[in-house]
Amino acid sequence: MHSENELGYQTRSDGFGILYGEIAGALIERCGRNGMGIVRKAVAAYGKKKGKRLREQYMGSGVRTDLHNLMAAEDGCWKDPRTLKTTVRDTPEAQLWEIYSCPLEKNWRDRGREEAGRLYCEEYLHALMDGYGEGAGQANVSNSKTCRRDDRCVMAMYCRTANQNETQKGTGDGNGIIREIPVEESTLLLYRCFIEVMKEEKDAEVVAAVTYGIKNGAEIMAETLIKKADHVGRSLDEDFLMEFFPFCRMEELREDRILRQCFLHVFDECLQKGGWL
Protein backbone atom coordinates (compact mmCIF):
# COMPACT_ATOMS: atom_id res chain seq x y z
CA MET A 1 0.00 0.00 0.00
CA HIS A 2 1.50 3.30 -1.05
CA SER A 3 0.29 6.88 -1.23
CA GLU A 4 -0.02 8.72 -4.53
CA ASN A 5 3.18 10.65 -3.76
CA GLU A 6 5.00 7.43 -3.08
CA LEU A 7 3.68 5.89 -6.28
CA GLY A 8 5.08 8.78 -8.29
CA TYR A 9 8.44 8.48 -6.56
CA GLN A 10 8.52 4.72 -7.08
CA THR A 11 7.72 5.01 -10.75
CA ARG A 12 10.43 7.63 -11.24
CA SER A 13 12.83 5.39 -9.36
CA ASP A 14 11.83 2.47 -11.60
CA GLY A 15 12.55 4.71 -14.58
CA PHE A 16 16.12 5.15 -13.36
CA GLY A 17 16.47 1.37 -12.98
CA ILE A 18 14.97 0.72 -16.40
CA LEU A 19 17.23 3.21 -18.15
CA TYR A 20 20.36 1.93 -16.42
CA GLY A 21 19.41 -1.73 -16.90
CA GLU A 22 18.71 -1.32 -20.59
CA ILE A 23 21.82 0.73 -21.45
CA ALA A 24 24.13 -1.44 -19.34
CA GLY A 25 22.44 -4.63 -20.55
CA ALA A 26 22.86 -3.61 -24.20
CA LEU A 27 26.53 -2.75 -23.65
CA ILE A 28 27.22 -6.09 -21.95
CA GLU A 29 25.35 -8.08 -24.60
CA ARG A 30 26.77 -6.29 -27.63
CA CYS A 31 30.28 -5.37 -26.50
CA GLY A 32 31.17 -8.14 -24.01
CA ARG A 33 34.06 -7.44 -21.64
CA ASN A 34 34.66 -4.03 -23.22
CA GLY A 35 31.01 -3.19 -22.62
CA MET A 36 31.32 -4.19 -18.98
CA GLY A 37 34.29 -1.87 -18.65
CA ILE A 38 32.26 1.00 -20.12
CA VAL A 39 29.37 0.31 -17.76
CA ARG A 40 31.72 0.34 -14.79
CA LYS A 41 33.32 3.60 -15.93
CA ALA A 42 29.92 5.24 -16.38
CA VAL A 43 28.67 4.11 -12.95
CA ALA A 44 31.93 5.21 -11.33
CA ALA A 45 31.68 8.63 -13.00
CA TYR A 46 28.03 8.92 -11.94
CA GLY A 47 28.75 7.97 -8.33
CA LYS A 48 31.70 10.31 -8.07
CA LYS A 49 29.82 13.26 -9.56
CA LYS A 50 26.86 12.63 -7.30
CA GLY A 51 29.13 12.48 -4.24
CA LYS A 52 30.83 15.72 -5.28
CA ARG A 53 27.50 17.40 -5.91
CA LEU A 54 26.27 16.46 -2.45
CA ARG A 55 29.49 17.69 -0.91
CA GLU A 56 29.27 21.02 -2.73
CA GLN A 57 25.61 21.36 -1.81
CA TYR A 58 26.45 20.78 1.86
CA MET A 59 29.46 23.08 1.85
CA GLY A 60 27.33 25.79 0.25
CA SER A 61 24.65 25.54 2.91
CA GLY A 62 26.88 25.04 5.93
CA VAL A 63 26.16 21.35 6.44
CA ARG A 64 28.97 19.24 7.88
CA THR A 65 30.30 16.85 5.21
CA ASP A 66 30.35 13.79 7.42
CA LEU A 67 28.92 10.34 6.89
CA HIS A 68 25.81 10.86 8.97
CA ASN A 69 24.81 13.69 6.66
CA LEU A 70 25.76 11.73 3.56
CA MET A 71 23.49 8.89 4.62
CA ALA A 72 20.68 11.29 5.41
CA ALA A 73 20.58 12.09 1.70
CA GLU A 74 21.95 8.99 0.02
CA ASP A 75 22.31 5.45 1.34
CA GLY A 76 23.19 3.66 -1.86
CA CYS A 77 19.54 3.11 -2.67
CA TRP A 78 16.80 5.69 -2.96
CA LYS A 79 14.53 7.00 -0.26
CA ASP A 80 12.13 4.60 -1.89
CA PRO A 81 9.41 3.32 0.46
CA ARG A 82 9.91 -0.18 -0.92
CA THR A 83 13.46 -0.32 0.50
CA LEU A 84 13.71 -2.41 3.65
CA LYS A 85 16.81 -1.39 5.55
CA THR A 86 18.38 -1.76 8.98
CA THR A 87 20.86 0.81 10.25
CA VAL A 88 23.49 -0.95 12.35
CA ARG A 89 25.55 2.12 13.22
CA ASP A 90 24.99 5.78 12.40
CA THR A 91 27.83 8.12 13.41
CA PRO A 92 29.66 10.96 11.63
CA GLU A 93 32.69 8.71 10.99
CA ALA A 94 31.11 5.30 10.43
CA GLN A 95 27.97 4.00 8.84
CA LEU A 96 26.98 0.33 8.92
CA TRP A 97 23.75 -0.88 7.35
CA GLU A 98 22.01 -3.80 5.72
CA ILE A 99 19.34 -3.84 3.01
CA TYR A 100 16.89 -6.71 2.72
CA SER A 101 14.63 -5.41 -0.01
CA CYS A 102 15.93 -3.17 -2.80
CA PRO A 103 13.61 -1.89 -5.54
CA LEU A 104 16.48 -1.38 -7.97
CA GLU A 105 17.66 -4.96 -7.56
CA LYS A 106 14.10 -6.25 -8.03
CA ASN A 107 13.67 -4.07 -11.09
CA TRP A 108 16.83 -5.52 -12.67
CA ARG A 109 16.06 -9.09 -11.63
CA ASP A 110 12.48 -8.94 -12.98
CA ARG A 111 13.77 -7.86 -16.37
CA GLY A 112 16.78 -10.20 -16.61
CA ARG A 113 19.30 -7.42 -15.95
CA GLU A 114 21.03 -9.04 -12.96
CA GLU A 115 24.50 -8.73 -14.50
CA ALA A 116 24.00 -5.00 -15.08
CA GLY A 117 22.85 -4.69 -11.47
CA ARG A 118 25.89 -6.52 -10.19
CA LEU A 119 28.23 -4.09 -11.95
CA TYR A 120 26.29 -1.14 -10.54
CA CYS A 121 26.60 -2.37 -6.97
CA GLU A 122 30.30 -3.18 -7.33
CA GLU A 123 31.08 0.37 -8.45
CA TYR A 124 28.54 2.85 -7.16
CA LEU A 125 29.11 3.20 -3.43
CA HIS A 126 32.92 3.27 -3.78
CA ALA A 127 32.62 6.10 -6.31
CA LEU A 128 30.04 8.01 -4.24
CA MET A 129 32.39 7.92 -1.24
CA ASP A 130 35.32 8.94 -3.37
CA GLY A 131 33.48 12.00 -4.63
CA TYR A 132 31.94 12.96 -1.32
CA GLY A 133 35.06 12.43 0.78
CA GLU A 134 37.51 13.88 -1.76
CA GLY A 135 39.63 10.75 -1.53
CA ALA A 136 39.42 10.32 2.25
CA GLY A 137 37.06 7.60 3.39
CA GLN A 138 36.16 4.18 2.20
CA ALA A 139 33.09 2.25 1.13
CA ASN A 140 32.60 -1.48 1.68
CA VAL A 141 29.99 -3.66 0.02
CA SER A 142 30.59 -7.12 1.41
CA ASN A 143 27.30 -8.50 0.17
CA SER A 144 24.76 -7.23 -2.30
CA LYS A 145 21.44 -8.57 -3.46
CA THR A 146 22.60 -8.28 -7.06
CA CYS A 147 25.15 -11.03 -6.37
CA ARG A 148 23.81 -14.59 -6.78
CA ARG A 149 25.38 -15.70 -3.49
CA ASP A 150 23.72 -13.06 -1.36
CA ASP A 151 20.30 -12.60 0.20
CA ARG A 152 20.94 -9.06 1.49
CA CYS A 153 23.28 -6.11 1.11
CA VAL A 154 25.88 -5.62 3.84
CA MET A 155 27.51 -2.22 3.61
CA ALA A 156 29.82 0.04 5.58
CA MET A 157 31.45 3.39 5.06
CA TYR A 158 34.19 4.95 7.14
CA CYS A 159 35.64 8.42 6.98
CA ARG A 160 37.98 9.17 9.88
CA THR A 161 38.93 12.71 10.76
CA ALA A 162 42.43 11.39 11.52
CA ASN A 163 42.76 10.57 7.81
CA GLN A 164 41.44 13.90 6.54
CA ASN A 165 43.36 17.03 5.65
CA GLU A 166 41.79 20.44 6.28
CA THR A 167 40.17 20.62 2.83
CA GLN A 168 38.70 17.16 3.18
CA LYS A 169 37.28 18.00 6.59
CA GLY A 170 35.18 20.78 5.06
CA THR A 171 33.83 23.87 6.73
CA GLY A 172 30.19 23.11 7.55
CA ASP A 173 28.89 23.05 11.11
CA GLY A 174 25.97 20.72 10.50
CA ASN A 175 23.10 23.19 10.78
CA GLY A 176 21.97 23.49 7.17
CA ILE A 177 19.23 21.70 5.27
CA ILE A 178 19.89 18.20 4.00
CA ARG A 179 18.22 17.34 0.72
CA GLU A 180 18.36 14.20 -1.36
CA ILE A 181 19.36 14.69 -4.99
CA PRO A 182 16.04 14.13 -6.79
CA VAL A 183 15.63 10.89 -8.74
CA GLU A 184 15.11 12.81 -11.96
CA GLU A 185 18.43 14.67 -11.52
CA SER A 186 20.16 11.39 -10.79
CA THR A 187 18.63 9.82 -13.88
CA LEU A 188 19.82 12.65 -16.05
CA LEU A 189 23.28 12.56 -14.46
CA LEU A 190 23.57 8.81 -15.04
CA TYR A 191 22.45 9.21 -18.63
CA ARG A 192 25.03 11.95 -19.21
CA CYS A 193 27.80 9.82 -17.72
CA PHE A 194 26.98 7.04 -20.16
CA ILE A 195 27.07 9.52 -23.03
CA GLU A 196 30.43 10.95 -21.88
CA VAL A 197 32.03 7.51 -21.63
CA MET A 198 30.50 6.51 -24.95
CA LYS A 199 32.00 9.58 -26.64
CA GLU A 200 35.43 8.87 -25.16
CA GLU A 201 35.34 5.37 -26.62
CA LYS A 202 34.82 6.52 -30.23
CA ASP A 203 33.52 3.06 -31.13
CA ALA A 204 30.51 2.63 -33.43
CA GLU A 205 29.41 -0.57 -31.68
CA VAL A 206 29.40 1.20 -28.33
CA VAL A 207 27.34 4.09 -29.74
CA ALA A 208 24.91 1.58 -31.23
CA ALA A 209 24.61 -0.30 -27.92
CA VAL A 210 23.99 2.85 -25.88
CA THR A 211 21.43 4.18 -28.35
CA TYR A 212 19.70 0.82 -28.49
CA GLY A 213 19.62 0.70 -24.69
CA ILE A 214 18.11 4.18 -24.41
CA LYS A 215 15.44 3.37 -27.02
CA ASN A 216 14.55 0.14 -25.27
CA GLY A 217 14.44 1.95 -21.96
CA ALA A 218 12.19 4.64 -23.43
CA GLU A 219 9.75 2.06 -24.74
CA ILE A 220 9.62 0.19 -21.45
CA MET A 221 9.12 3.47 -19.57
CA ALA A 222 6.33 4.49 -21.92
CA GLU A 223 4.54 1.16 -21.39
CA THR A 224 5.01 1.50 -17.64
CA LEU A 225 3.59 5.02 -17.61
CA ILE A 226 0.56 4.13 -19.73
CA LYS A 227 -0.18 1.22 -17.39
CA LYS A 228 0.43 3.30 -14.26
CA ALA A 229 -1.82 6.15 -15.45
CA ASP A 230 -4.56 3.62 -16.11
CA HIS A 231 -4.08 1.95 -12.71
CA VAL A 232 -4.31 5.19 -10.77
CA GLY A 233 -7.09 6.62 -12.93
CA ARG A 234 -5.08 9.58 -14.19
CA SER A 235 -4.77 11.16 -17.62
CA LEU A 236 -1.43 10.80 -19.24
CA ASP A 237 -0.82 14.54 -19.21
CA GLU A 238 2.04 16.85 -18.29
CA ASP A 239 1.09 16.89 -14.59
CA PHE A 240 1.18 13.11 -14.50
CA LEU A 241 4.55 13.01 -16.25
CA MET A 242 5.95 15.56 -13.81
CA GLU A 243 5.11 13.19 -11.00
CA PHE A 244 5.86 9.83 -12.58
CA PHE A 245 8.46 10.27 -15.33
CA PRO A 246 12.13 10.54 -14.32
CA PHE A 247 12.91 12.97 -17.17
CA CYS A 248 10.06 15.10 -15.96
CA ARG A 249 11.46 18.37 -17.19
CA MET A 250 10.54 17.87 -20.81
CA GLU A 251 12.84 20.64 -22.02
CA GLU A 252 15.73 18.28 -21.21
CA LEU A 253 14.33 15.94 -23.82
CA ARG A 254 14.06 18.65 -26.42
CA GLU A 255 17.56 20.03 -25.79
CA ASP A 256 19.38 16.71 -26.04
CA ARG A 257 19.59 15.20 -29.52
CA ILE A 258 19.95 11.60 -28.40
CA LEU A 259 17.23 11.84 -25.78
CA ARG A 260 14.96 13.56 -28.27
CA GLN A 261 15.47 10.80 -30.81
CA CYS A 262 14.98 8.03 -28.28
CA PHE A 263 12.19 9.41 -26.13
CA LEU A 264 10.11 11.94 -27.97
CA HIS A 265 8.53 9.71 -30.56
CA VAL A 266 7.71 7.19 -27.85
CA PHE A 267 6.18 9.86 -25.66
CA ASP A 268 4.43 11.54 -28.53
CA GLU A 269 2.65 8.25 -29.12
CA CYS A 270 2.15 7.75 -25.43
CA LEU A 271 0.76 11.24 -24.96
CA GLN A 272 -1.45 10.92 -28.00
CA LYS A 273 -2.87 7.71 -26.57
CA GLY A 274 -3.45 9.49 -23.29
CA GLY A 275 -5.24 12.29 -25.14
CA TRP A 276 -2.74 14.98 -24.10
CA LEU A 277 -1.52 15.80 -27.60
Partner 1 sequence: MKYTLNEMQIMNLADHYTLLYAFLGKSLLEQCGEKGERALREGTRRFGRDRAEALRARHLDANVKINMHSLFAVGADLPPDPRFKRELQELNPQERVSHTLYCPMAALWKEYGVMEIGRIYCEEFHRACYGHYAFGYTKVNLAKTQTQPEDEYCAFNVVLRPETLPEELRAVCFEEYDPEYSGPVKQLAQAQGKSGFGTLFIKLYFHIAQAAEDILGDMGRSAVCKGLEDMAEECADRLLCAAREQGKEMSLDFIEANYPLRMDMDGEPLWSIYGSGGWKEEMKNHFCNKVQRICLDNGQRLF
Please give the residue ranges that form the binding site for partner 1 (CB under 8 A): 33-34, 36-37, 40, 88-89, 96, 122, 126, 138, 140-143, 149, 154-156, 158, 160-163
> Minimum distance between the CB of residue 121 and partner 1, rounded to whole angstroms?
10
Q: How far apart are the C-alpha atoms of 146 and 130, rounded to whole Å?
A: 22
Q: How far apart are the C-alpha atoms of 276 and 1, rounded to whole Å?
A: 29
| Residue with Cβ nearer partner 1 (10 or 144) | 144
The sign of the torsion formed by the CA atoms of 67, 69, 70, 74 equals positive
Measured CA angle at 66 (ends 61, 67), to 5 deg:
125
CB 23 within 8 A of CB 8: no
> Minimum distance between the CB of residue 94 and partner 1, rounded to whole angstroms?
8
| Residue with Cβ nearer partner 1 (165 or 175) | 165
> Minimum distance between the CB of residue 164 and partner 1, rounded to whole angstroms?
9
| Residue with Cβ nearer partner 1 (15 or 76) | 76
CB 53 within 8 A of CB 193: no
| Residue with Cβ nearer partner 1 (63 or 125) | 125
| Residue with Cβ nearer partner 1 (149 or 231) | 149
Q: What is the DSSP letter of 264?
A: I
> Minimum distance between the CB of residue 124 and partner 1, rounded to whole angstroms?
12
Rg (CA), the chain: 19
> Minimum distance between the CB of residue 155 and partner 1, rounded to whole angstroms?
6
Q: Which residues contact 204 (CB under 8 A, 6 or more apart)?
A: none
